[in-house]
Structure 1
Amino acid sequence: MIAPTMIGLVILNIIPFFETIRMSFYKSGSFGKWTFCGIDNYIKMFSSSGFWRSTWNTTYFVILTVPIGVFISLVLAVFLNAKIKGRTIFRAIYFLPMVVAPTAVAMVWKWMYNSEYGIINNFLRSIGISNTINWITNSKTALLACAIVAIWSAIGYDAILLLSGIQSISKSYYEAAKIDGASGIKQFFHITIPMVSPTLFFVIIMRAMTSLKMFDIIYMMIEERNPAIRSTETILMLFYKESFVNNNQGYGSAIVIWAFLIIGVVTLVQFIGQKKWVNYET
């Protein structure tokens, strides 16, 4: 019964993964010729300033998106769980960005960020901020602008997941807390967060993995000729450039292995943190 899934997993994931490891020890040439080069690709990678810059950009992007995005999603889930009129409609509205294609999302936000006629700068001018902000062409704000888009497009999905965890909490806990005089904020920190922690850690892991693999939004919003391209180049963007622009698939494979190791380490740390959190709560 699980054979179709297992066959697809082996063909589409496991075999390509080991093939990528093999390719990272080769140098690609013209006409499909490959030459074994040992660990030269890894030596080149670790001695490249562009590689370390992309690693820092990826780390910074995770720092910008994961804590803020998960916190907003958790607060939003609490409000969506409240007894308000039309909450089903609100849930659908907040979930809509996940249905829209990332390309469309990036293009709309790119127009909104436009320094001349973008709606964001027009709004800032209307409240007295006359200085034009070059959101996606300034190296100091470009990555932040992309992080805002990533947070906006993901909070609805994360909020729905957290909402399912909140709804599984027994109402008797909140009723007992109200009898003891606990305020809504105390109930949030002492009941909601501890009880929803398994779902919360799952959301954090998924959001961190997505942020570490971020490519499409940044690629669509930051063009190659954009002066801020260096400050927004993530690990996967560097992989794309080396593999498909510079036609150096061996070096690109080494970059992907590095990205895999980072994702694995981050996931392992989060799993260890989850176990310690659960042990602390019990």
Structure 2
Amino acid sequence: MLGQGARVGRARINWMAYLLVAPALGTWLIFNTYPMIRGITMAFQDYRFLYPETTSLANSFNGLDNFRAMFEDRMFGASLVVSLKYTAMYLPASIILPVIIASLIAEVTEERMASFLRVVVYMPAVLPIAAAMLVWKKLYDPQFGYLNVIIGGLLRRPVNILWLGPQLALPSLVVASLWKGLGYNTLLFLIGIYGINRELYDAAAVDGCTGLKSWWHITLPLLKPIFTLILVLNAGIMGVTEQAMIMTDGGPADRTLTSGLYLWRVAFRYGDMRMGYAAAVALCLGIISMLLSAIIFKVMRTERA
């Protein structure tokens, strides 16, 4: 009888656990799993938002036609090149700058000053992305932007640098995005640095390994998991949309038309809103991001070995 009562108690505990998990699981299934599955199926439909009859998969299934059209679409190819350039500039800088800043903050011994610096560095991450990009758009203004005013003051003559012109638009967009994400990445590196055993530095100092040498041979190797984490988190940067939409709207002359922004235009701006084609573009970008993440894991694992 005692064993039977214990089994009933365990069953009740299990059911209670399921009930507690059910709201979170249901939310995840509704807002994550279903949209992902629907997006994948939509990629194989000629679904156009303005034509309700194309909603059903049975009525609008078109096989691989969306993907065939995508690879023949010059605009998609051009946007993919822009995204690759953006990623090539953003990814290295999103690691190099934060790790340097985090290392400098970690050297500050006065706790109040260190706390102040952490708050200042993290503050951009708190801002909504729309507000942050509008601030940078004002800074880049050729006539009244603070950047040109400061440079003109230093040179003692008026300057009219077109920060969002054809030549500098993409690098300027990268700088604004780096500023927005700098605080979060710096905080991750700070957590890693503060978690390193200080005895390692003391032992290295006995052998004369101090300063930059200890940073290069101790700090950086032990931060490799943080490097991997940040690279993987930023692997989806190819689909950047909001920054380009707010600052340049893809211009000038499509110099900042990223794949994410092109996807949004196809889905919500162009013609009859080709949701099926946009879903195919999104699926392609997702596959590219997963491949990039796999390459990052492979490279970091090889270096660690």
Same-fold status (TM-score > 0.5) = yes
1:179-190 matches, within 5 Å, as 179-190=206-217
- Does 2:193 align with 1:152? no
Structure 1 residue 74 displacement after superposition: 0.3
Question: Match of 2:34?
Answer: 15
Aligned match of 2:14: none
Q: C-alpha displacement at 1:229, in angstroms?
A: 5.0
Aligned-residue sequence identity (percent) comes to 23
How far apart, in 1, do the equivalents of 2:160 and 2:241 lie? 27
State the Cα distance separating 1:41 from its structure 2 match: 1.0
The alpha carbon displacement at 1:223 in A equals 3.4
Match of 2:266 among 234, 238, 242: 242
Whether the 8 Å CA contact 2:125–2:180 is kept in 1: the answer is: yes
The match for 1:230 is: 254
Alignment-derived partner of residue 219 in structure 1: 245
Please name the residue that 2:284 is paired with: 258
Equivalent-residue separation in structure 2 for 1:15 and 1:223 (angstroms): 30
CA distance in 2, matches of 1:272, 1:10: 30
Quick check: 1:57 aligned with 2:85? no
Matches for 1:1-282 after TM superposition, within 5 Å = 1-29=20-48, 30-34=50-54, 35-85=60-110, 86-128=113-155, 130-136=158-164, 138-209=165-236, 211-223=237-249, 226=251, 228=252, 230-246=254-270, 247-279=273-305
Q: 1:189: Cα distance to partner?
A: 1.1
> Are 1:55 and 1:235, in contact at CA under 8 Å, matched by a contact in 2?
yes
Q: Distance in 2 between matches of 1:117 and 1:162?
A: 36
Tell me how large the CA RMSD over aligned residues is.
Answer: 1.6
Structure 1 length as normaliser, TM-score?
0.93
Stretch deviating more after TM superposition (242-251 or 7-16) = 7-16
CA–CA separation in structure 2 for the residues paired with 1:33 and 1:229: 36
Q: Distance in 2 between matches of 1:229 and 1:103?
A: 22
Contact 1:223–1:229 under 8 Å retained in 2: no
Structure 2 residues without counterparts, runs of 5 or longer: 1-19, 55-59
Would you say how many aligned residue pairs link Structure 1 and Structure 2?
275
CA distance in 1, matches of 2:132, 2:277: 31
Q: What letter is aligned with 2:106?
A: N
The DSSP-based 3-state class of the residue aligned with 2:46 is strand
Shift of residue 238 of structure 1? Answer: 0.8
Which of 269-278 and 142-151 deviates more? Answer: 269-278
**Conserved 8 A contact 2:149-2:159:** no
Asked if 1 retains the 8 angstrom alpha-carbon contact of 2:239 and 2:261, the reply is no
* CA distance in 1 between partners of 2:253 and 2:275 (Å): 21
Q: 1: CA distance between counterparts of 2:204 and 2:77?
A: 50
**Rounded Cα–Cα distance in structure 1 between residues aligned with 2:249 and 2:65:** 30
- 8 Å contact kept, 1:113–1:120: yes
Give the match for residue 9 of structure 2.
Answer: none
Unaligned runs of 5+ in 1: none
Hey, what's the Cα distance between the residues in 2 that align with 1:84 and 1:141?
A: 39
